[in-house]
């Protein structure tokens, strides 16, 4: 949702709907949906918290941010910021560094010990959340805000799910992860770690839970049938990263081959380098343009000495020799075998070919539909069985941490509606503030602030965080680069350019109104509004 700004009133007129035949349209103030807000999978009011941050109100900005996402320091590190891809600022220079400012606010909150809001009044309802990854943590937080009692269970000894066991510490320091998780559990969440749920129906019945949220992450690495003389030298990337997170890394040797092209493959290769591999080679069957991994992660990996064998697939692995078959892309962009082979020396092979979710806890439950390895859900995130909800990796979606956070929030609101026996309401959606609504002439070039990086030579032997944060000065500058797309920020342009003095400045929540007795409908105010917060509508006769 976007912050409210201005509304339109008729001032000092006895002719409320029409002032003369010369005017066929009248200007009205509007609120439009900023594209960054629209693109955020977690549903953050990005423009709203940037507005608070640009005046130095960091705690107010953080509190507005955590209305939707309780993990800003984490997401400021691991989110691939689709909000920035949608940012209209690219029409001027570069996208606003939204993710960097989010991290700054999250880190500042940890530094100053800011607490999340208190739990809501107790409803007496009990909810079981299975899985303590980003979806489960988000759901637990929002359920506590709504006053429901929450038991959060996880099969691992520590909370965090794939945030802890799938994302290496050089991307997400464990102190940051622990701090943001602790704030959520401190809201009165009952935590049961080292507990695997084998039968969701029995768990719900025996615990007396009114609803269940399945937030089981995709922690099963996919395997393929690759002939291998010594299968002990083959490991899936998920298991490898999990063991590293448990501080019990396997011995991979000096020459490590990673088979796959996603972000997990890059994490595995970069981690292998840090564990002492002199050669960390990614084998991928397509070219770089087709690689699903995010471009910035690819650049980081290449800069750390990871190499890539493009257009190649693994044929077999035996006697410390890996046989690759060269591929070519057909007219449709799909890889085809060429019959040409090459060999690589290899001590181990890491398979990063995707992940599955363990849904064995649903066996025997015929009401919850599982299709293509995920649970089918409605818009409320509820399954076919009343009171059973699912989200994150367990539901159809992009498998990112930010999507999971958004699922947790939506599921919590869906559960709340279910428990109160009321309709689930998504809320109104304003029209999108596209770039053609803006007048970017008023915005000066202000180059984007880039976050500092750890020297590349220091990355290859330790798990220090690679990407640094912004200083307060830089975060303030970056927040002020926001164009406030679609929502008035009281620049006074309409007040200053109106040739008929038809704009009245009020300030406060209602910033301006039009005096339609004076307005002749010329539309100059619309054309000169930098943020597109005014539009012309047909005159009512």
Domain residue spans in the chain? Answer: 1-31+487-541, 35-114+438-479, 126-219+357-420, 227-353
Nearest to 144 by CA among 89, 246, 213, 245: 213
> Residue 76: what pLDDT?
97
- As a whole number of angstroms, the distance between CA 383 and CA 155 comes to 22
The tokens of 350 are what? 């890491």
Radius of gyration of the chain (CA): 27
* Block residue for tokens 């007219």: 331
> Residues 380-392, buried b or exposed e (16+ Cβ, 10 A)?
bbbbebebbbbbb
- The tens digit of pLDDT for each residue in 456-509 reads 888 888 899 999 999 999 999 999 999 999 999 999 999 999 999 999 999 888
CATH architecture of 35-114+438-479: Orthogonal Bundle (1.10)
- The tens digit of pLDDT for each residue in 143-185 reads 999 999 999 999 999 999 999 999 999 999 999 999 999 999 9
One of 3.30.70.20, 3.20.20.70, 3.40.470.10, 3.40.50.300 is the CATH number of 1-31+487-541, namely 3.30.70.20
> Residue 21: what pLDDT?
56
> Residue 403: what pLDDT?
97
In the chain, count H helices and then E strands. Answer: 18, 21
> Residue 218: what pLDDT?
80
Could you tell me the CA-to-CA distances from 83 to 252, 397, 405 in Å, in that order?
38, 17, 15
- As a whole number of angstroms, the distance between CA 270 and CA 31 comes to 45
> Residues 144-167, buried b or exposed e (16+ Cβ, 10 A)?
bbbebbbbbbbbbebbbbbbbbbb
> Residue 3: what pLDDT?
41
**pLDDT < 70 regions, the chain:** 1-21, 229, 541
> Residue 184: what pLDDT?
98
CATH architecture of 126-219+357-420: 3-Layer(bba) Sandwich (3.50)
- The tens digit of pLDDT for each residue in 29-71 reads 999 999 999 999 999 999 999 999 999 999 999 999 999 999 9
Does 227-353 match 126-219+357-420 at the fold level?
yes
> Residue 14: what pLDDT?
33
pTM, 2 dp = 0.91
> Residue 17: what pLDDT?
42
DSSP 259-320: E--SHHHHHHHHHHHHTT-SEEEEE-SS-GGG--S-HHHHHHHHHTT-EEE-SEEEEEEETT
Q: Please return the burial class of 32, using the count of CB atoms within 10 Å of its CB with bins 0-12, 13-18 and 19+.
A: buried
> Residue 229: what pLDDT?
65
* Block residue for tokens 């989010």: 102
Helices 401-420 and 134-145, axial angle in degrees (round to 10): 40
> Residue 20: what pLDDT?
47
> Residue 196: what pLDDT?
94
Nearest to 379 by CA among 411, 416, 342, 331: 411
List of residues 6+ apart from 237 with CB closer than 8 A: 221, 258, 260, 264, 265, 267, 268, 350, 351, 352
Region 227-353: CATH code: 3.50.50.60
Report the residue count for the chain: 541
């Amino acid at each position: 949702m976007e912050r409210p700004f201005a509304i339109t009133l008729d001032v000092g007129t006895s002719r409320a709907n029409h002032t003369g035949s010369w005017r066929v349209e009248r200007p009205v103030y509007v609120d439009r949906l900023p594209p960054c807000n629209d693109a955020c999978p977690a549903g953050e009011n990005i423009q709203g918290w940037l507005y608070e941050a640009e005046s130095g109100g960091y705690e107010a900005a953080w509190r507005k941010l955590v209305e939707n996402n309780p993990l800003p320091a984490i997401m400021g590190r691991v989110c691939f910021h689709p909000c920035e891809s949608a940012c209209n600022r690219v029409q001027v220079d570069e996208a606003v560094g939204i993710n960097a400012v989010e991290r700054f606010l999250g880190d500042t909150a940890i530094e100053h010990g800011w607490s999340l809001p208190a739990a809501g009044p107790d409803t007496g309802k009990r909810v079981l959340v299975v899985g303590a990854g980003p979806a489960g943590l988000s759901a637990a937080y929002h359920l506590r805000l709504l006053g429901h009692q929450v038991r959060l269970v996880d099969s691992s000894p520590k909370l965090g799910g794939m945030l802890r066991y799938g994302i290496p510490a050089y991307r997400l320091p464990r102190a940051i992860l622990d701090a943001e998780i602790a704030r959520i559990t401190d809201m009165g969440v009952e935590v049961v770690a080292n507990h695997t749920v084998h039968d969701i129906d029995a768990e719900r019945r025996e615990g007396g839970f009114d609803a269940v949220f399945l937030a089981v992450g995709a922690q099963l690495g996919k395997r393929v049938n690759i002939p291998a003389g010594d299968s002990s030298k083959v490991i899936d990337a998920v298991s490898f990263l999990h063991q590293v997170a448990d501080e019990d890394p396997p011995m991979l040797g000096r020459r490590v081959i990673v088979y796959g092209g996603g972000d997990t493959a890059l994490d595995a290769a970069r981690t292998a380098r840090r564990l002492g591999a002199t050669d960390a080679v990614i084998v991928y069957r397509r070219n770089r343009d087709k690689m699903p991994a995010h471009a910035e992660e690819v650049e980081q990996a290449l800069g750390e000495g990871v190499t890539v064998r493009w257009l190649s697939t693994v044929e077999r692995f035996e006697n410390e020799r890996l046989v690759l078959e060269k591929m070519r892309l057909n007219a449709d962009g799909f890889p085809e075998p060429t019959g040409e082979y090459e060999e690589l020396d290899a001590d181990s092979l890491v398979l990063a070919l995707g992940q599955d979710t363990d849904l064995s806890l649903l066996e025997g439950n015929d009401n919850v539909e599982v299709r293509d390895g995920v649970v089918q859900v409605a818009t409320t995130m509820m399954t076919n069985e009343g009171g059973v909800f699912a989200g994150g990796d367990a539901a159809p979606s992009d498998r990112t941490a930010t999507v999971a956070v958004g699922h947790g929030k939506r599921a919590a609101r869906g559960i709340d509606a279910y428990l109160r026996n009321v309709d689930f309401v998504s809320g109104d959606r304003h029209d999108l503030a596209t770039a053609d609504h803006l007048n970017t002439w008023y915005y000066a070039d202000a180059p984007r602030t880039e976050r500092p990086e750890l020297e590349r030579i220091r990355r290859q032997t330790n798990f220090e965080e690679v990407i640094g944060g912004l200083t307060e000065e830089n975060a303030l500058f970056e927040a002020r680069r926001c164009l406030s797309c679609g929502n008035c920020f009281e620049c006074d342009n309409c007040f200053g350019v109106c040739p008929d003095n038809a704009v009245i400045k009020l300030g406060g929540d209602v910033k301006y109104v039009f005096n339609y007795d004076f307005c002749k409908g010329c539309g100059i105010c619309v054309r000169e509004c930098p943020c597109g917060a005014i539009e012309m509508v047909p005159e009512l006769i």
